[in-house]
Structure 1
């Protein structure tokens, strides 16, 4: 009896190993007919809630990618600080909030091809006397917590000799404090700040030059395991197709007012 139980247990173990070895996220998504996503819907122009309706550049891009894959997107509004931890424990299939590609994150996650420029930049009030990025020395600058832009601002502040950094849960909160005079500037990615100034030119203005960091890119994030490889490839194939047929250019121009050619491979850093 012990022998039979051992054989049975071994057979179950082998079956489980075989199932794990052949786990495929793309196949699971197609079987379910849906892609469960997470993003922060307070990050214009990528993700916004307008009268309770989700819209933005991310949605337009991922709607098209989902069509190419053949599954319906399920969009969820999740605080940024909970997105990557939630991805790791499989609460959703992918984080579509724009995530800056960094060497540290590349070690831990699978990134898709870039979806936008993410170079850190600065915005001020329209009547501010500050002009160039170096002028933030000794000033108070807001930035969204837990972002690559925070780390770049921190390093830049140390290089200048001191900047007081105030962290915010959302960029909207930082912009509100800037408009109210509680901040001297806000650091963020160039597309976000360009859109802000475009929408509210009477209140905000970009520094000249706006950028102060090394070139960076936004992308979407998947778990880093063999199970996600086909899903990541399907997304990248869709993005390349959309680049070649002009859809990405049209979406960028709609939301950003201009087109930036993006790498056709995931940057190494």
Structure 2
């Protein structure tokens, strides 16, 4: 009877190891959520997601001694990725805003960006104020969307109609087809879109906004936030971050 009890105890212990082993395996990963439609910060090279944010994320993963896993979702789904625990952090060329600060915590900023305005070559739109009363395409959930939609009535630009797209390339297609008066999008992808369609569209010298990118974590996740800030500080002080940005910018311009 004693031996039977011992065997049963061993079997029970072995069974209990299975779920713990599964948790341990999951614990070896750190998960980043992004929207891989945003060169040069995150985009597909073949089947692999690459870019500036991915390289920073790899440094974060190495710092905590874990394997990096990347989830590619729609941009406006990113806040829910954090709140639902589907990811540990969001790196997606995300702008720090007061509204977003209510639902997530942000790292130190690592890049200053502009929201550029793209129009047809023969457009009467010559400056940001010319967007007043026009139909403008934006990528859903981005700063351009927030600024042009202006739900809180704080913007100095008053767009007549805002059309939202999951992909910036779809907005550009509608602009070329004459269904939009302009497209507002981050300057990096704007440069590439104009280069690929230089006979049809141009980027205005006048930017819509200037913004600051940071990495987001779930509200209250101070430990991870401190780790991310230490990685960014190391990359800034060594010059690695500037080099990474310039290399990716050059690759984008030459691709």
TM class by shorter chain equals: 0.7 to 0.9
Q: Measure the CA separation in 1 of the matches of 2:66 and 2:170.
A: 34
Shift of 1:115: 2.8
Q: Which position in structure 2 is the counterpart of 1:18? A: none
Number of aligned residues:
227
Residues 243-262 of structure 1, C-alpha deviations (whole Å, 9 max, x = no match):
1111111111122359xxxx
Q: Which position in structure 2 is the counterpart of 1:238? A: 231
Q: Does 1:179 align with 2:179?
A: no
Verify the 8 A CA contact 2:95 2:213 in the aligned structure 1. yes
Residues 175, 237 of structure 1: alpha-carbon distance in 2 compared, 3 angstrom cutoff: same
Matches within 5 A, 1:1-269: 32-155=27-150, 159-160=156-157, 162-198=159-195, 200-209=197-206, 211-213=207-209, 215-225=210-220, 228-257=221-250
Residues 200, 52 of structure 1: alpha-carbon distance in 2 compared, 3 angstrom cutoff: farther
Residues 80-113 of structure 1, C-alpha deviations (whole Å, 9 max, x = no match):
2222112101111111122211112112211112
Q: Measure the CA separation in 2 of the matches of 1:256 and 1:173.
A: 22
TM-score (ref. length: structure 1): 0.74
- Aligned-pair RMSD on alpha carbons? 2.8
Shift of 1:76: 1.3
Q: Measure the CA separation in 1 of the matches of 2:127 and 2:154.
A: 14
Secondary structure of the residue aligned to 2:76 is: helix
Task: List alignment gaps of at least 5 residues for structure 1.
Answer: 1-27, 259-269
Q: Measure the CA separation in 2 of the matches of 1:128 and 1:255.
A: 31
Secondary structure of the residue aligned to 2:171 is: helix
Shift of 1:128: 3.8
TM-score (ref. length: structure 2): 0.78
Verify the 8 A CA contact 2:32 2:57 in the aligned structure 1. no
Shift of 1:74: 0.5
Bigger radius of gyration among the two: 2
Residues 135, 219 of structure 1: alpha-carbon distance in 2 compared, 3 angstrom cutoff: same
Q: Measure the CA separation in 2 of the matches of 1:198 and 1:246.
A: 29
